Structure 1
Amino acid sequence: MTRDRHSYRTERATGGRKPAERKAKGSRKAAADAAAFRASRCPAFGQCGGCTMIDTPMEEQLQGKQAYVAECIGDFGTVDPIIRMKNPGRYRNKVTRVFGLDYKGHPVCGNYRARSHEIVPVKDCLIEDRRADHIIQTIFDLLPSFRLRVYDEASGKGMLRAVQVRCAHATGQIMVTMVTNGPAFPSRNNFLKVLLEKEPEITTVIQNINTRQTTMILGPTEKVVYGPGYIEDVLCGRKFRLSSSAFYQVNSIQTEKLYNIAIDMAGLSGKERVFDAYCGIGTIGICASDRAKEVISVELNENAVRDAERNVKENALSNVQVYADDAGAFMNDMAARGESCDVLFMDPPRSGASDEFLQSVLAMAPKKIVYISCNPETLGDNLSILCDAGYQMKKAVPVDMFPFTDEVETVCLLSQRKPDTTIEV
């Protein structure tokens, strides 16, 4: 199942009608209103490739996302109304800015223009934590005083490539990661002294080293230059330690709603064996642990595994085990031993779960699957395979995790279909 995302954005902006079907007067007024709204809200709209729906009233955004999810997975069952965010602004707890030169050779700090390497200057973004924006601008403003050069992609020279700031929603702790083009950081100690005087709320600073010719932000090597090298946050009543590279949902408020819905869907009674695939730093499994007998969390990324193990220890959990392995291979091994689980939580990347992974799921045959997806199209593709193999979608709930963008999160509950039942569509 495929869906043209540009078509989706166009349809939600025009109420499902083609532009030619609208009256000329209405079109002119709508265009003028939208232009005025954009100008008042974000001067970089349409350039930086970020908030593609900042010009769209919230109700239209939600209706468009609801329709998008329903089109992609509605054939498998009913889609519940989307869970909206009460105050949809300044929600991003992680902010990244790239540094470089503009076409005149002047230093610039901002976001990449959509589908290009051109940097659009951005000082303040309406969906980002204001503290993060302010810290990044402070760093940019300090560079000339210390004769520090930004990275030039064309020549491969210059020091500062990017800055990433994480803000812990519950604790207020802040991590700053400065990405440099090599280990050298002239006047680093003096620079940090001035930065911390201007931004005293910073908890820790990390220098990440990235010498690769790539648009990937973070490199493979880093060192802590101030503070503990991590920050801590609280999610669903559990503590989590975050490193610079840790995957952590960017909207903390909506993430709690998402995880609570997912855990409620699982219907845990304290007797179940739970498998958390793609566990990352262990968030879902840890949040569900007080309702389960046993949680098996599996993650391939070594850094994430270390974070997950620390988070299990930090929360003093004896019923959560973290394994460094490919989740699909791990499930195949379990199935070969005649083992299974009661509930599988899976939160795959945007590309969805691979066919090999889904075959591993079917081999282990969990009683219930709670599938969290950030891409309704690949979710639909994966549901087709799972439902053809004997599962039934019992419930689906979209969650507006990313207001003012065309992205939407969805959580689905699947259970094994009894042999004598069929799915009504």
Structure 2
Amino acid sequence: MAKKADIPVAKNQTIEAEFEDVTHDGQGVAKADGYPLFVPGALPGERGTVRVLKTNKSYGYGKLLELAVESPDRRIPPCPVYHQCGGCQLQHMSYAAQLRMKEKHVRDCLQRIGKIAHADIRPIIGMGDPWRYRNKVQVPVGMKDGELVAGFYRERTHKIINMDRCLIQMEKTDEVVQKVKELCGNLQIPPYDEERHEGVLRHIMVRYGLATREIMVVLITRTDEIPNRKKLVRGIVEAFPDVKSIVQNINPKRTNVILGEETRVLWGRDVIYDKIGDIRFAISAQSFYQVNPVQTRVLYEKALEYAGLTGEETVIDAYCGIGTIALFLAGRAKKIYGVEVVPEAVADAKRNAELNGIRNAEFAVGKAETVMEQWYEAGLRPDCIVVDPPRKGCEPSLLETILKMSPQRVVYVSCNPATLARDLRILEDGGYRTEAVQPVDMFPQTKHVEAVVRMTLKEQEI
């Protein structure tokens, strides 16, 4: 173990540093006598003054004080609260540099973690306009200097940064949040106090259907009752004719989880509608629905291409959510089976299948690894399996079931290159070959990147 004396810098020391790389989350990397320092806001090729904030045995963290040499990729962040808000990490970087960073992260994870060097990693697909893309916003509400405030949390805190607009949210959602905030302030609806566990309004959520222009407003409260509820609802409806749904979600618990278990309709429908390609989706307050509709279509079309369907195949969509990928694939498949652990999501998937007249899709509630094992025992042998797991990746038992089912193709949609690489290694060791990897930038200005992967079953040796 390295001794403190072996570390070439000390806490609070000020040094001159040259940045040679950037991490996957946008931190600049400098070396002090070979000792790595991670510095937020710094870019490769830059030189500047850094204060050392923390040291570990293998690396340290620093704060950028002043730049002597700036990168041509440096940009002035257009958001006035960028340096306080934790929502974005990369606005100080040109969009071209963001794409290079994300593509490199996918490549590095596959090679370093997955030991996969043979795959065809395609150039990342970015956005023509990498701003104003999010169709859903949810902001905490609080009180500051006697006024109701709403915005995102300062990074690594629960201090609300009050703001009037967010440059990665669709403009309409900004407008609705501001109006709801204004109405709640005027009607003296008490915001939630996290420390005392008092007050009423915890969060404001707005969902927007880009194709339909329909708006849903979700008022997340600690209490059953909302003071001046009728006036609030009337004010929202009068201000926005495209509002089709106003619902209340009740979360009485002391928790960081945003949504509670009970949702009630205050006005209009319980859903709004949107379309991806030709498929229409009903979206409820608790539905998981991709937040970037433009890039979602890119992502799903790539998944459809990689599935290689001719109309004769049986397909399983694990982690199917409200059926977005399954229904997107259904028109090219003989039969689609979807599985999802959230019962409300499966109910939405069935509703969406009916909404689109899709009769070759069947959805089951349960853990993917459990239900797919049951399907395997019942003799189901799919030609293709699609997985779109959460950030933690696939459960090991699910990967084992995939290997037992031995579909000709596996399409893996990932939001975390590290767990993707880990899971691909397991599938490769089980007889699959990673053929193509397509990174997609679903979340410009942030550190996140998605990827779609095509794997095929290797020919078995006789």
- TM score, norm. by length of structure 1: 0.92
Matched position secondary structure for 1:384:
helix
Aligned partners of 1:157, 1:317: CA distance in 2, in Å?
A: 47
Aligned partners of 2:356, 2:299: CA distance in 1, in Å?
A: 21
Structure 1 residue 217: deviation in Å?
A: 1.2
Select the residue among 151, 155, 160 that pairs with 1:119: 160
Larger relative contact order (CA 8 Å, sep ≥ 6): 1
Q: Provide the residue aligned with 2:87 in structure 1.
A: 50
Aligned partners of 2:266, 2:451: CA distance in 1, in Å?
A: 39
Contact 2:47–2:70 (8 Å) recurs in 1: no
Supply the RMSD in Å over aligned alpha carbons.
Answer: 2.4
Instruction: Give the aligned length.
Output: 412
1:63 and 2:103 are equivalent in the alignment: no
1:229 and 2:247 are equivalent in the alignment: no
Unaligned runs of 5+ residues in structure 1 are none
Structure 1 residue 16: deviation in Å?
A: 4.5
1:216 and 2:234 are equivalent in the alignment: no
1:10 and 2:33 are equivalent in the alignment: no
Aligned partners of 1:107, 1:31: CA distance in 2, in Å?
A: 40
Aligned partners of 2:24, 2:297: CA distance in 1, in Å?
A: 30
Identify if the C-alpha distance between structure 1 residues 21 and 317 changes in structure 2 by more than 3 Å, giving closer, same or farther: same
Identify if the C-alpha distance between structure 1 residues 31 and 65 changes in structure 2 by more than 3 Å, giving closer, same or farther: closer
Alignment of 1:91-102 (within 5 A): 91-102=133-144
Aligned partners of 2:73, 2:341: CA distance in 1, in Å?
A: 49
- TM score, norm. by length of structure 2: 0.85
Once the two structures are superposed, residues 171-194 of structure 1 have per-residue CA deviations (whole angstroms, 9 ceiling, x without a partner) of 000000000111111111122112
Aligned partners of 1:215, 1:21: CA distance in 2, in Å?
A: 37
Give the letter for the 2:70 counterpart: A
Aligned partners of 2:249, 2:25: CA distance in 1, in Å?
A: 39
Structure 1 residue 118: deviation in Å?
A: 1.2
Structure 1 residue 14: deviation in Å?
A: 5.9
Q: Provide the residue aligned with 2:151 in structure 1.
A: 110
Structure 1 residue 291: deviation in Å?
A: 0.5
Q: Provide the residue aligned with 1:401 in structure 2.
A: 442
Structure 1 residue 338: deviation in Å?
A: 3.4
Structure 1 residue 78: deviation in Å?
A: 2.4
Aligned partners of 1:391, 1:331: CA distance in 2, in Å?
A: 19
Structure 1 residue 13: deviation in Å?
A: 7.1
1:307 and 2:348 are equivalent in the alignment: yes
Identify if the C-alpha distance between structure 1 residues 7 and 275 changes in structure 2 by more than 3 Å, giving closer, same or farther: closer
Q: Matched residues, percent identical?
A: 36
Unaligned runs of 5+ residues in structure 2 are 1-21, 30-39, 51-63
Q: Provide the residue aligned with 1:200 in structure 2.
A: 241
Q: Which structure features the higher share of helix residues?
A: 1
Q: Provide the residue aligned with 2:70 in structure 1.
A: 30
Contact 1:329–1:360 (8 Å) recurs in 2: no
Select the residue among 365, 375, 378 that pairs with 1:337: 378
Matched position secondary structure for 2:420:
helix
Structure 1 residue 9: deviation in Å?
A: 3.5
Structure 1 residue 100: deviation in Å?
A: 1.2
Give the letter for the 1:57 counterpart: S
Q: Provide the residue aligned with 2:127 in structure 1.
A: 85
Q: Provide the residue aligned with 2:388 in structure 1.
A: 347
Aligned partners of 2:236, 2:309: CA distance in 1, in Å?
A: 48
Select the residue among 184, 193, 197 that pairs with 2:225: 184
Matched position secondary structure for 2:336:
strand
Once the two structures are superposed, residues 261-304 of structure 1 have per-residue CA deviations (whole angstroms, 9 ceiling, x without a partner) of 11011110000000011000001110111110000111110110
Matched position secondary structure for 2:358:
coil
Select the residue among 387, 412, 419 that pairs with 2:428: 387
Aligned partners of 2:391, 2:248: CA distance in 1, in Å?
A: 28
Aligned partners of 2:71, 2:440: CA distance in 1, in Å?
A: 29
Identify if the C-alpha distance between structure 1 residues 6 and 251 changes in structure 2 by more than 3 Å, giving closer, same or farther: closer
Aligned partners of 2:227, 2:67: CA distance in 1, in Å?
A: 55
Aligned partners of 1:13, 1:198: CA distance in 2, in Å?
A: 40
Contact 2:48–2:69 (8 Å) recurs in 1: no
Select the residue among 402, 407, 418 that pairs with 1:366: 407
Identify if the C-alpha distance between structure 1 residues 166 and 414 changes in structure 2 by more than 3 Å, giving closer, same or farther: same
Give the letter for the 2:207 counterpart: R
Give the letter for the 1:263 counterpart: L
Contact 1:328–1:361 (8 Å) recurs in 2: no
Aligned partners of 1:412, 1:166: CA distance in 2, in Å?
A: 29
Matched position secondary structure for 2:124:
coil
Identify if the C-alpha distance between structure 1 residues 17 and 30 changes in structure 2 by more than 3 Å, giving closer, same or farther: closer
Select the residue among 239, 251, 256 that pairs with 2:280: 239
Give the letter for the 1:83 counterpart: I
Contact 1:396–1:411 (8 Å) recurs in 2: yes
Aligned partners of 2:421, 2:237: CA distance in 1, in Å?
A: 48
1:169 and 2:210 are equivalent in the alignment: yes
Greater CA radius of gyration, 1 or 2? 2
1:259 and 2:259 are equivalent in the alignment: no
Identify if the C-alpha distance between structure 1 residues 184 and 5 changes in structure 2 by more than 3 Å, giving closer, same or farther: farther
The structure 1 segments of at least 4 consecutive aligned residues displaced by more than 4 Å after TM superposition are 4-8, 11-22, 31-34
Matched position secondary structure for 1:402:
coil
Alignment of 1:409-420 (within 5 A): 409-420=450-461
